[in-house]
């Protein structure tokens, strides 16, 4: 117990960026790798960023009072905004726009497979200066899988986010369903990956009504007064609720703290190799499907122009005198289907 507390205390380096800067000039901004939007400098009626806290994840410290211990790095009235399960293009972008409008920052915990399915959106999250951690490879409940599978979920998830961003993410991990296990926690310790639980649950997965999301956050903060708030950026309710939630935090006098890592996560080469192979395999599957679709489209075009395709003949790919195949909408190369964390039947995730 003592060693855990000691490690937790040592594991934190608190950067009072704004507090120190505010002593010299009122207009000072937190020292961010990606600056806030230029318009933020002139805005006074926004939530903004209170300060930046650098987290040292050596030996896998754990945060979040709902499962671990009080977040000593947060003071009364301070919150950390977190978003799980994305990226999900439309809803993630709505969340990003709401955060930009209030000149504030958050931490995202993407699912590896979702990241591969929608890499541009995850890159946009990083580009806008938010911290990106990881939320496993395929959102399995660690309590119902083997130790080996749990390790794979962590490592492949990390390699996937690394692959998409082109750089290692923050060594910040959140368990799907917040379902930790002793063996997975031990593995995370050896890998210097910090574990982030929560204090406030928006319960956005239980509702499509943004008003409910707002009420859940505001009511829980009345008791908690500070903490890590959990949202899901693939939930329509959160995408719609975010402007009003951020406005409520502002008018309620809450301050947003931005978490950044002391050092990036380090992937394991063997999982990078597995991931790269999987990436190529799936790209290949989609490429051959595209060829078949193009051929089918060309065949249809020939029929429409009144020229029958002789049986057994290869349909012309682009007949100059027939209608051209219609360009197909650009699709993500891989959209995971039937996974339990997606919108359909998405109940029970924490």
- Footprint of Zn ion on this chain (CB under 5 A)? 84-85, 176, 349
Strand, coil or helix: what is 317? coil
Q: What's the closest the beta carbon of residue 230 comes to Zn ion, in angstroms?
A: 9
Nearer to Zn ion, 110 or 171 (CB): 110
Question: Which residues are CB-neighbours of 108 under 8 A, at least 6 positions away?
Answer: 82, 83, 84, 86, 87, 122, 125, 130, 131, 132, 133, 233
Other residues' Cβ atoms within 10 Å of the Cβ of residue 16: 14
Q: How far apart are CA 103 and CA 126, in angstroms?
A: 15
Phi and psi angles of residue 131, each rounded to the nearest 5 degrees, phi first: -85, 135
Pick from 200, 197, 206, 201: which is nearest to 236 by CA? 206
Which one, of 222, 181, 170, 180, lies nearest residue 200 by Cα?
A: 222
DSSP run (H or E) holding 230: strand 227-232
Q: Which is closer to Zn ion, CB of 85 or CB of 199?
A: 85
CA separation for the pair 329, 313 (Å, rounded): 28
Strands (E), 56-190: 62-63, 78-84, 107-109, 131-132, 172-173
Neighbours of 320 (CB within 10 A): 6
Nearest residue (CB) to Zn ion, 201 versus 349: 349
Q: How far is the CB of 84 from Zn ion (least distance, A)?
A: 4
CB of 57 to Zn ion, least distance (A): 20
Q: Judged by CB, which is closer to Zn ion: 78, or 349?
A: 349
Element at 322 (helix H, strand E): none
**Smallest separation (angstroms) from Zn ion to the CB of 343:** 13
Q: Give me the least distance between CB of 136 and Zn ion, in Å please.
A: 8
Q: Decide whether 173 or 334 has the Cβ nearer to Zn ion.
A: 173
**Nearest residue to Zn ion, scored by beta-carbon proximity:** 84
Query: Residue 46's closest CA among 303, 247, 228, 189?
Result: 247
| Nearer residue to Zn ion within complex by CB, 153 or 349 | 349
Element (H or E) spanning 174, and its range? none
Q: How far is the CB of 74 from Zn ion (least distance, A)?
A: 22
Shortest reach from residue 139's CB to Zn ion, in Å: 6
Q: For the beta carbon of residue 276, count every other beta carbon within 10 angstroms.
A: 12
Shortest distance (Å) from residue 341 CB to Zn ion: 5
CB nearer to Zn ion: pick between 18 and 231? 231
Of 333 and 341, nearer to Zn ion (C-beta) is 341
């Amino acid at each position: 117990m003592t060693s855990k507390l000691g490690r937790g205390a040592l594991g934190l380096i608190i950067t009072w960026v704004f507090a120190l800067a505010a002593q010299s000039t009122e207009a000072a901004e937190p020292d961010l790798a990606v600056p806030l939007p230029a318009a933020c400098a002139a805005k006074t009626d926004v939530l903004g960023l209170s300060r930046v806290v650098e987290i040292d994840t050596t030996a896998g410290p754990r945060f979040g009072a709902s499962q671990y211990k009080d977040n000593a790095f947060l003071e009364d009235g301070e919150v950390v905004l977190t978003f799980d399960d994305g990226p999900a293009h439309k809803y993630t972008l709505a969340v990003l726009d709401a955060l930009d409008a209030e000149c504030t920052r958050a931490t995202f915990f993407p699912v590896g497979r979702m990241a591969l399915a929608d890499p541009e959106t995850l890159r946009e999250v990083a580009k806008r200066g938010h911290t990106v951690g990881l939320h496993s490879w395929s959102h399995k409940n660690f309590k119902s899988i083997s130790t080996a599978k749990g390790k794979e979920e962590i490592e492949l998830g990390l390699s996937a986010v690394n692959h998409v961003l082109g750089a290692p993410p923050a060594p910040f991990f959140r368990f799907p369903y917040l379902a930790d296990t002793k063996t997975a926690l031990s593995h995370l310790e050896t890998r210097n990956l910090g574990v982030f639980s929560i204090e406030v649950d928006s319960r956005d997965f239980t509702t499509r009504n943004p008003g409910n999301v707002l009420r859940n956050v505001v009511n829980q903060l009345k008791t908690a007064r500070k903490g890590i708030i959990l949202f899901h950026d693939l939930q329509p309710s959160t995408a719609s609720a975010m402007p009003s939630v951020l406005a409520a935090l502002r008018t309620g006098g809450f301050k947003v703290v931005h978490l950044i890592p002391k050092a990036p996560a380090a992937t394991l080469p063997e999982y990078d190799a597995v991931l790269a192979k999987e990436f190529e395999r799936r790209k290949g599957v989609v490429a051959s499907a595209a060829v078949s679709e193009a051929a089918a489209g060309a065949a249809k075009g020939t029929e429409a122009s009144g020229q029958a395709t002789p049986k057994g003949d290869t349909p012309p790919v682009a007949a100059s005198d027939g209608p051209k195949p219609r360009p197909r909408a650009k699709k993500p190369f891989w959209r995971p289907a039937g996974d339990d964390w997606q919108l359909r039947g998405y109940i029970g995730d924490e």
